[in-house]
Amino acid sequence: MDQLRKTLATIQKYLGQLTLTHKLLVALVAVIAVMSLLLVWSWSAKQEYAEFLPRASDVEQAKAAQWLRNHDVSPEMKGTHPWVPAARQHELFSRYAEAGNLPQDTSMLFQGMLEKQTWYSTRQQNEQTYNLALQNELASVISKFNGISKAMVIIDAPERQGLGAGSRKPTASATVFAQGKNGLDQATVDAIAGLIASSKAGLLIENVRVIDGNMRRQRRATSQEDQAAGNYLEDVTKWENATREKLVNFLSYIPEVMVAVTAQIDNTRLNRTREEFLPKDSGTISLIKRERGSSQTQAGAAPGGEVGIRSNVGMDVNSTGAGAAAGSSIKEDESEFLNFPGRVQDQIIDNKGRPSMVAVSVNVPRAFVASQIPAVASASTPSGGADAAKGPSDEQLRDKFEKDIKPKIIESIVPHVKAMIASENPGLSAEELNKLLLAQVSVAMIPLDISGLTIGSPSMPGAGSGSGAGNGGSSGLPFGLSTPMIENIALGGMALLAMGMMIIMVKRASGGASIPSPEEIVGLPPALATKNDLIGEADESDAPMMGIEVDDAEIRTGKMLDQVTDWVKGSPDGAAKLLNRWIATEL
């Protein structure tokens, strides 16, 4: 603190000697220094942003911006391009690629990495730099996937040869190490292969190999043909679960109903093109392109007889008065037409995935059927109450189920199953389809009462009968206990036991530890007891002297005093001379 005061006093002393101009100059320098520090602080505190998808199209940029907003990231828009914090650029890009949102050809996205290219670099050097940057960027992106700790990517893209020379297709491999000792699942392998294949033009996903570093296995991405076969079980499970859930909700008025659904899925992929030519005047037209015609006609009459009757000539009634006509005719026609046939082309792409056959089985609890039969008690006979308590007979249950409950359930289920399989069976008539549906829907009554709940009101005899009873029903256990009650009691006992053990542990942990007394810490002997406990003349001894603490300086001074005393006793002359010298020096 004193040093600071001296420094401030020195500054104040020399500033006081300056003129007003000098003081203003010093103040100006101080203001400039402060402003420079503020400018540096503002620049350093400003967050650095990086472009999320460099050189992508506007459509892809808008899609990426929407994806970022949906994932709680507010991008900084520069035109139509979203910019994200540079520290999170790789993380967000990895998540974006893992979700399968990258465009088909992402090679343009990685061209912004080529910062090391110069004008004097050769084309081969530029290609090598680009491939190296691309490999490093892909490895960095893949390593940010969930469950991935490290990744290495190698791309072999042969140069294009001249005319007539053979060309080789580019290939790539990625060595990926998962976190821990786990392997890679097929979805991760497909995402990695798709990312690498789309980052290099001409690189097919079939030519990408993914090496599982932990399992030391070679993995291959799933092709389009293999996906249909691999997803069959998934599609079947999805349809069966959805149908079963719908039917269970639909039959929820029946307690403890059992529903089983089995589906057969047609997941073949149909790609068909149909082309049809239309007849004339229905889309097909003919137009004259060129027409040429030539026609020539020439005719002349032969000389005939004179008018009147000549002498000595017999009369001929068949002869005419005029001679035969003579002539010639030439006609040439040539036409050329342009035909435009009408054509209809249909391209049908059907991924199907719809069920072609569905089988449904419904099991109705026996207690529910019994609850639907009204109780009939015979008051005229003494045994009427006992008979009523037994509930309905098996024949009554069977008749009620077959005539009333089963037809209603089948009638309610068949329309839903028909809507699922009608489109996959277009060749069946309505009657054949109904027969098929009736054969595929089965409704039965459970022969034993296994319901864990009491079905029906207490006033209905037989509603709570059976081996398992619900609330208020007999379970066959002593003291009227039921299985849920025993479970609750067991859980309560375990909770009390755990609570008691915890209290005991806390009590033991909170017990005070034995702390030694100050005398024991210092090392002093214990005080003597009173006279009543002494034997003989032990009390006549001197009491122990209390300890005195001395420091090193006192010990050193005492030793020096002892040495001087011994020296004075042993050599008085030398001590006197030394003492005279000290006195003379002081004077």
Pick from 93-102, 398-407, 522-531: least confident = 522-531
* One domain for residues 446 and 567: no
Residue 212 tokens, joined: 């599982």
438 in the same domain as 421: yes
Say what the pLDDT of residue 196 is.
92
Residue 278: inside a domain:
no
Tokens standing for 110? 């990685």
82-93: buried (b, 16+ CB within 10 Å) or exposed (e) per residue? bbbbeeebeebb
Q: What confidence tens digit (pLDDT) does each residue in 222-279 have? A: 776 666 555 777 788 888 999 999 999 989 888 888 999 998 887 777 777 888 888 8
Q: Is 356 exposed, middle or buried, given 0-12, 13-18 or 19+ CB atoms closer than 10 A?
A: middle
Do 428 and 391 have their domain in common?
yes
Based on the domain organization, do 117 and 186 belong to the same domain? yes
Q: Alpha carbon of 157 to those of 124, 127, 173, 191, 336: distances in Å?
A: 12, 10, 12, 21, 56
Give the amino acid at 113.
Answer: M
The pLDDT assigned to 299 comes to 64
Question: Who wins on pLDDT, 359 or 47?
Answer: 359
Please report the sign of the dihedral spanned by the C-alpha atoms of residue 93, residue 94, residue 99, residue 105: positive
Per DSSP bridges, beta strands 171-178 and 148-156 are antiparallel
Q: Is the pLDDT score of 380 beyond 60?
A: no
154, 208 in Cβ contact below 8 A?
Answer: no
The H or E element spanning position 297 is: strand 285-301
Helix (H, G, I), strand (E, B) or coil at 123: helix
357 and 409 belong to one structural domain = yes
What pLDDT is recorded for position 153? 92
Compute the distance between CA of residue 353 and CA of residue 358 in angstroms, rounded to an integer.
13
Domain membership of residue 502 (yes or no) is no
**Is the per-residue pLDDT at 468 higher than 70?**
no
Average pLDDT over every residue of 167-184 = 88
Among 233, 252, 271, the domain-final residue is 233
Portion of the chain with pLDDT greater than 90, in percent: 6
From the list 445, 444, 469, the residue with the least C-alpha distance to 455 is 469
Is 161 a residue whose pLDDT tops 70? no
Residues belonging to the chain: 587
Q: Which is more confidently placed, 515 or 491?
A: 491
Q: What is the pLDDT of residues 190-220, one digit of tens each?
A: 899 999 998 888 888 889 999 999 988 898 8
- Distance between CA 431 and CA 437 in Å, rounded? 10
Residue 473 — very low, low, confident or very high, per pLDDT cuts 50/70/90?
very low
Q: Looking at the structure, do residues 354 and 386 belong to the same domain, yes or no? A: yes
Q: Are residue 31 and residue 154 in the same domain, yes or no?
A: no
Q: Is residue 395 part of a domain?
A: yes
pLDDT at 474: 42
CA distance 33 to 366: 93
**Do 89 and 18 share a structural domain?**
no
Give yes or no: residues 365 and 457 share one domain. yes
Alpha carbon of residue 502 to chain centroid: 41
pLDDT at 177: 93
Average pLDDT over residues 111-123: 61
For residue 265, being part of any structural domain is answered with no
Whether residue 34 is contained in a domain is answered as yes
**Of the ranges 229-233, 285-289, 519-523, which one carries the lowest mean pLDDT score?**
519-523
Give Cβ neighbours of residue 66 (< 8 Å, ≥ 6 apart): none
Block residue for tokens 């009462």: 449
Ranking 16-20, 45-49, 546-550 by mean pLDDT, the lowest is 546-550
Residue 418 lies in a domain: yes
Inter-residue contact 438 to 418 (CB < 8 Å):
no
pLDDT at 585 (0 to 100): 58
In terms of pLDDT, which residue wins out, 428 or 478? 428
At 526, give phi and psi (nearest 5°): -65, 150
**Does some domain include residue 215?**
yes
For the chain, the domain total comes to 4
Q: In the predicted model, what is the mean pLDDT of residues 135-147?
A: 87
Task: Say yes or no to pLDDT of 587 above 90.
Answer: no
Residue 491 lies in a domain: no
DSSP string, 512-557: PPP---HHHHHTPPPPP--GGG--TTGGGSPPPPPP----HHHHHH
| pLDDT reported for residue 452 | 46
Please answer whether residues 272 and 354 qualify as being in contact, where contact means their C-beta atoms are separated by less than 8 angstroms: no
* DSSP code at position 364: E
96 vs 109: CA distance, rounded Å: 13
Whole-number Å distance between alpha carbons of 195 and 103: 10
CA–CA gap between residue 89 and residue 136 (Å, rounded): 15
Give the span between the Cα atoms of 21 and 145, in whole angstroms.
65
Q: Are residues 72 and 197 in the same domain?
A: yes
Tell me the mean pLDDT in the region 581-587.
65
Q: Distance between CA atoms of 23 and 19, rounded to whole angstroms?
A: 6
Q: Which among 460, 480, 500 is the end of a domain?
A: 480
pLDDT score at 478: 60
Q: Quick one: which H or E segment has residue 366?
A: helix 366-371
Which residues are within 8 A (CB) of 418 and not within 5 positions of it... i.e. 6 or more apart?
A: 433, 437
- Residue range of the domain that includes 361: 348-480
Do 21 and 108 share a domain, yes or no?
A: no
Considering the chain, what percentage of its residues have pLDDT values greater than 70? 71
Q: Among 180, 213, 233, which residue terminates a domain?
A: 233
Distances (CA, A) of 94 to 97, 102, 175, 447: 5, 10, 17, 58
Find which of 284-298, 312-326, 355-369, 502-516 is predicted with most confidence, using mean pLDDT: 355-369
The pLDDT assigned to 261 comes to: 92
Residue 191, CA distances (Å) to 131, 171, 222, 269 in order: 20, 17, 10, 23
pLDDT value of position 297: 72
Confirm if 448 and 467 have CB atoms less than 8 A apart: yes
Tell me how crowded residue 56 is: count the other CB atoms within 10 A of its CB: 20
> What are the pLDDT digits (tens) for 398-424?
888 888 998 999 888 888 888 888 777
Give the pLDDT of residue 304: 56
Secondary structure of 2-70 in HEC code, one letter for each residue? HHHHHHHHHHHHHHHCCCHHHHHHHHHHHHHHHHHHHHHHHHHHCCCEEECCCCCCHHHHHHHHHHHHH
> Do 15 and 93 fall within a single domain?
no
Q: How is 424-481 classified by DSSP, letter by letter?
A: T-TTS-HHHHHHHHHHHEEEEE-SS---SS--S-TTSTTTT-SSS--TTS--S-GGG-
